[in-house]
Structure 1
Amino acid sequence: MNELLFFIIGTALGSLTGVVLMCLLQINRLSKREEVENAKTKCAGTVPLE
């Protein structure tokens, strides 16, 4: 019974850690994309980027 409790707690903590890590990485990725979009709009009247 004790092993089952440790297994459930470990699985819950591992799942929670994985979800938090993936959310943080996704937020970081989205903020980098917004920086690129802002840079494109700032120099829209100058030399084309593409």
Structure 2
Amino acid sequence: MPSINNPQNIVVAALDIFKFLYQVLEIISSPLPIPFCMVSSEDEKKNMINIGSR
């Protein structure tokens, strides 16, 4: 077990946790038709189309 006092070990551990959470989010969001992060951009695209069609 690496010492927690070393800042570099904390950063490496945090990155490992972040990668794990990111993979979990990808697995959870993959079956959904629209990923949560794309909802706002889709709304923005619709607004741009509405503005352009005036």
Structure 1 or 2, whichever has the larger Rg, is 1
What pairs with 1:1-50 in structure 2 (closer than 5 Å)? 14-41=6-33
> Which residues of structure 2 form unaligned runs of 5+?
34-54
RMSD between aligned alpha carbons? 1.3
Q: Which has the higher helix share?
A: 1
Give secondary structure in 2 for the equivalent of 1:28.
Answer: helix
- Output the TM-score relative to the length of structure 2: 0.48
* Percent identity (aligned): 10
Q: Which runs of 5+ in 1 are unaligned?
A: 1-10, 42-50
* Runs of 4+ in structure 1 over 6 Å off: none
